[in-house]
């Protein structure tokens, strides 16, 4: 299937560039937004709260995930409650463990029970999915972000794991699985195929949405023209 209008999966944009995010907000295929400290650092953001609040002023009506960055659970909790207070559409990203490999499961349960919308992030195993799904329960809408692309980076096919993750979440109708860290546009269709609820896609990959379903003869010709134009621009001679 190569028709965006027929997709059931929701596409979220993953990024940290204000202009790019605001441009994508105009795109009807973008149902929500995510960011993370690595993307924010790459974009040169220094004022975390100022950046987030500016985005939320412009985008008050689609889910937006912002991540805590402490390595201590009590401080993560404080940050989570603060971030959650910035808007009704905010989801707080909690990493599945801290850097000492200690599970965030107790904090996740506490925050979910308190009604905080969470996006538990950086999961890569089914054991993590089961534990976090049980901790989240069904009190409040939540996301579980499994980093399918990073799993694929290790030479493993993420499809069977992602398929099983969908099944693990299925008893909880307020939990949605996010296919995180896609590596190519085709992953949107992979995620759709296994019934994943959401895929979060970087701005670079999203630029390719306009060529979904493009005629391959036309695309081949565009490619030939690109080589010819660039050779002319470079002034090559032999
Ligand atoms: C998701 O929310 C993450 O921000 C993102 O998918 C991370 O992807 P990466 O593996 O490209 O860092």
Q: What is the pLDDT of residues 107-118, one digit of tens each?
A: 999 999 999 999
Q: What is the pLDDT of residues 43-82, one digit of tens each?
A: 999 999 999 999 999 999 999 999 999 999 999 999 999 9
The ligand 1 atom at the shortest distance from the C-alpha of residue 150 is 10
The ligand 1 atom at the shortest distance from the C-alpha of residue 180 is 6
Planar angle of CA 124, 126, 127, nearest 5 degrees: 105
Is pLDDT at 231 greater than 70 in this prediction?
A: yes
In total, the chain counts a number of residues equal to 238
The ligand 1 atom at the shortest distance from the C-alpha of residue 182 is 6
Q: What is the pLDDT of residues 7-40, one digit of tens each?
A: 999 999 999 999 999 999 999 999 999 999 999 9
Q: What percent of the chain has pLDDT over 70?
A: 99
- How far apart CA 116 and CA 94 sit, in angstroms, is 11
The helix/strand count (H/E) of the chain reads as 11, 8
Q: What is the pLDDT of residues 178-212, one digit of tens each?
A: 999 999 999 999 999 999 999 999 999 999 999 99
* Centre of ligand 1 from the C-alpha of residue 180, in Å: 6
Residues near ligand 1 (Cβ within 6 A): 14, 34, 36, 121, 145, 147, 149-150, 180-181, 200
8 Å CB contact between 152 and 135? no
Mean pLDDT of the residues in the chain: 97
Going by pLDDT thresholds of 50, 70 and 90, the confidence category of residue 1 is: low
CA neighbours closer than 13 Å in the CB half-sphere of residue 42: 9
* Centre of ligand 1 from the C-alpha of residue 13, in Å: 10
User: Which residue has tokens 């490999």?
Assistant: 101
- How far apart CA 171 and CA 167 sit, in angstroms, is 8
Report the pLDDT value the prediction gives residue 151, as an integer from 0 to 100.
98
Best probe residue, ligand 1, of 64, 158, 200, 204 (max atoms within 8 Å of C-beta): 200
Domains, in order of start, for the chain = 4-211 (3.20.20.70)
Quick check: pTM over 0.85? yes
Is pLDDT at 2 greater than 90 in this prediction?
A: no
E strand or H helix at 42: helix 37-42
- How far apart CA 174 and CA 171 sit, in angstroms, is 9
Report the pLDDT value the prediction gives residue 3, as an integer from 0 to 100.
81
Of 50, 174, 164, nearest to 119 by C-alpha is 174
Averaged pLDDT for residues 154-158: 98
């Amino acid at each position: 299937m190569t028709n965006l209008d027929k997709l059931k999966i929701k596409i979220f944009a993953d990024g940290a560039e204000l202009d790019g995010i605001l441009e994508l907000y105009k795109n009807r295929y973008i149902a929500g937004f995510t960011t993370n400290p690595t993307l924010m650092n790459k974009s040169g953001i220094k004022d975390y709260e100022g950046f987030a609040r500016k985005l939320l002023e412009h985008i008050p009506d689609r889910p937006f995930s912002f991540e805590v960055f402490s390595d201590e659970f009590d401080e993560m909790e404080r940050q989570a409650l603060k971030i959650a207070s910035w808007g009704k559409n905010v989801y707080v990203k909690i990493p599945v463990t801290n850097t000492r490999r200690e599970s965030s499961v107790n904090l996740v349960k506490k925050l979910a029970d308190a009604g905080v919308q969470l996006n538990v992030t950086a999961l890569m195993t089914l054991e993590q999915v089961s534990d976090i799904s049980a901790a989240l329960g069904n009190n409040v809408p939540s996301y579980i972000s499994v980093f399918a692309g990073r799993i694929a980076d290790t030479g493993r096919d993420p499809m069977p794991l992602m398929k099983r993750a969908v099944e693990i979440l299925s008893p909880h109708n307020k939990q949605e699985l996010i296919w995180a860290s896609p590596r190519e546009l085709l992953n949107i269709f992979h995620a759709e195929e296994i019934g994943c609820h959401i895929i979060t896609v970087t701005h670079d990959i999203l630029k390719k949405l306009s060529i979904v379903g493009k005629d391959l003869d036309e695309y081949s010709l565009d490619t030939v023209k690109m080589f010819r134009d660039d050779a002319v621009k470079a002034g090559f001679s032999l």
